Structure 1
Amino acid sequence: MLKMFSTQLAGLLGRIHDKQEDNLEDAARLLAQAAAGEGRIFIYGTREMEAVALEATLGEEPLPSAVNWNGEETAEFTAADRALIVTRFSRDPDAIKAAKLLQKKGIPFAGISSAREEADGDTLENLADVHVGLLLKKALLPDESGGRFGFPAPIAGLFAYYGIKFIIDEILAEYEE
């Protein structure tokens, strides 16, 4: 079972890399504006996707200027700040609430999520300045009753985060030269 899961997971991560490469770069450029200047990068991960915010702030290699944010109103926002919202699906009401708050405050932000249905109306990909799709529509493995299991949203989210982080690190290294 693990072999099948790892094969499917490798395929998913490859698709994210191939199909979201431009969005990863655009998200990194947007967020690097805060890290290169006086701003901070507020990161909000809903539910299990908080793993991304925790990795960015408490991991072995933290993202410069990153702050773990709870998605709520804060007096700490400045015009130099940027944000990243990470959620399993783009219609997550907590993510949409945070996205609308950022828009109201004039804080540019990137989003990371999967779209489960048509992307119209209030979705993270429609509200974000830049959106990275996780391309995860259903769990990866079939079960014996016709269902599916093994939905690796945090793994896919962390993969996208690392893609963004590596590009930010490159941008900041060039900026310091």
Structure 2
Amino acid sequence: MQKMFTTQLLGLFTRIMDKEAYSIEDGARLLAQASAGEGVIYIKGFGEMEGVVLEAINGPEPLENVRVLKDVADLKPIDRVLLFTRFSDDHKANEFAKQLEEKGISFVAVSGVKKTTEHHLPDVADVHINTFVLKPLIPNEDGERVGFPTLIAGLYIYTCIKFILDEILTEYE
């Protein structure tokens, strides 16, 4: 099972890179606007995706100029937000996104895109990056699907954003 899961993860990473490379780069550029200016990058995770926030703040290579977002009222127009959630139709994430939109705060959202008509994060985010994780990756012996790597995909996308953001900020200095 581990070998099959690893193969599927590699395929997922390849799919993200093939289909979302431009969005990842656009997202890093949007976030760089805060770091290059007087703003702050705020990060927010919903559910298990709070793991990405922990990595960005406390990991061995923390994101520069980043803070955990607790209250939209604290944001200034020059600030940028990086938001992670499991699915694009997550009610709490979409409520939060609407608050950002109403306040005029630019933000990058990362989620698995569900085909729904309401509460759709890609429609309100300035940049949306699809994790492509909508269901578990592999079948077990009982025929049920297991291995739902939302956090793994989120961490992969976060790391790609961080690489590009660091490059942009190095060139800016």
TM-score above 0.5: yes
Q: CA deviation at 1:122?
A: 2.2
- Distance in 2, Cα, partners of 1:16 & 1:173: 25
Instruction: Report the AA paired with residue 7 of structure 2.
Output: T
Q: Of 111, 121, 124, which residue of structure 2 is paired with 1:124?
A: 121
Aligned to 1:81: 79
Q: Secondary structure at the match of 1:78?
A: coil
Q: Gaps (5+ residues) in structure 1?
A: none
Q: Secondary structure at the match of 1:79?
A: coil
Aligned to 2:160: 163
Hey, which bits of structure 1, 4+ residues long, moved more than 3 A?
Answer: none
CA contact (8 A) 1:90 1:124 kept: yes
User: Kindly, what percent of the aligned residue pairs are identical?
Assistant: 50
**After superposition, where does 1:1-177 map in structure 2 within 5 Å?**
1-70=1-70, 72-74=71-73, 76-116=74-114, 118-176=115-173
Q: 1:138 to 1:169 in 2, by over 3 A?
A: same
Deviations 1:55-88 (A, max 9, x none): 1111111111111123x433x2111100011001
Q: 1:20 to 1:119 in 2, by over 3 A?
A: farther
Instruction: Report the AA paired with residue 94 of structure 2.
Output: I
CA contact (8 A) 1:36 1:175 kept: yes
TM-score (ref. length: structure 2): 0.96
CA contact (8 A) 2:31 2:165 kept: yes
CA contact (8 A) 2:91 2:119 kept: no
CA contact (8 A) 2:89 2:118 kept: no
Q: CA deviation at 1:119?
A: 4.5
Q: Secondary structure at the match of 1:146?
A: coil
- Distance in 2, Cα, partners of 1:147 & 1:111: 30
Q: Secondary structure at the match of 2:44?
A: strand
Greater displacement, 61-70 / 7-16: 61-70
Q: CA deviation at 1:134?
A: 0.5
Q: Gaps (5+ residues) in structure 2?
A: none
- Distance in 1, Cα, partners of 2:170 & 2:151: 28
TM-score (ref. length: structure 1): 0.93
CA contact (8 A) 1:119 1:125 kept: no
Q: CA deviation at 1:138?
A: 1.2
CA RMSD of aligned residues (A): 1.2
Q: Secondary structure at the match of 1:85?
A: strand
